[in-house]
Amino acid sequence: MTIRVAMWSGPRNISTAMMRSFGSRADTVVSDEPLYAHYLAATGLDHPGRDEILASQPQRWEDVADALTGPIPGDPAVYYQKHMTHHLLPGIGRDWLGKLTHAFLIRDPAHVVASYSKVRGEPTLSDLGYPQQAEIFRTFGGPVVDSADVLRDPGRTLRLLCESLGFAFDPAMLSWATGPRPEDGVWAPHWYASVHASTGFAPYDPSPASVPDRLLPLVEAARPYYEELAAHRL
């Protein structure tokens, strides 16, 4: 039976590298941000490649849910779904999530805000997805990995993650070929340059985050959600 892994991450994390890692397994198929088109259609936001994104995916969340929980061509051992927590809008039903095996990729909010502020000057707590991530964790549970731990020791962290999800670690998850993959979302040309140039996880950077003073309250608002999940990290 296929294990359907819903990996929930906020923005400005290593979620695409994690997708690349799981996509390097011979027994795994991946889905790249399947709720993105619904998110754009429902919010009206103008993201890079908006028209292409809306045309590439179902815009009704019900159709997305049916696809993520329905038959999978090839009957793979693992169906890895890369989800952005902020895509889980309040109007999306939650019952279908019970059919998935959930996992959580977290990152210290100071680093998230510092990075996000470079591409969007005034992010909100909802943009960062911390409350949504905590909601899913409280309801369904699941293993938690911190991006810093993945980068410090990807072999150990991924081994623990795979074991927690019910399947064996595969060393193929530690490296991959450069360039795009067929499973990449149509937005990849706008966002995936660093992953396309990579052959594995980047080295851990211990440098402190440089957060603009005006965004320090946002970091503090996000921190309790981060720490709630961090207390359970592998």
Residue 120, pLDDT score: 76
Residue 122, pLDDT score: 86
Domains (ranges, CATH) in the chain?
A: 3-230 (3.40.50)
Whether pTM > 0.75 for this model: the answer is yes
pLDDT tens, residue by residue, 63-115: 999 999 999 989 999 999 999 999 999 999 999 999 999 999 999 999 999 99
Query: Which amino acid is present at 165?
Result: L
Residue 117, pLDDT score: 86
pLDDT tens, residue by residue, 128-165: 999 999 999 999 999 999 999 999 999 999 999 999 99
Residue 119, pLDDT score: 79
Using a pLDDT cut of 90, give the percent of the chain over it: 96
Non-local (6+) Cβ contacts of 121 within 8 A are: none
Residue 1, pLDDT score: 92
Residue 189 has pLDDT above 90, yes or no: yes
pLDDT tier for residue 223 given thresholds of 50, 70 and 90: very high
Q: What is the mean pLDDT of the chain?
A: 96
CA distances from 158 to 99, 101, 146, 150 (A): 23, 16, 11, 7
pLDDT tier for residue 39 given thresholds of 50, 70 and 90: very high
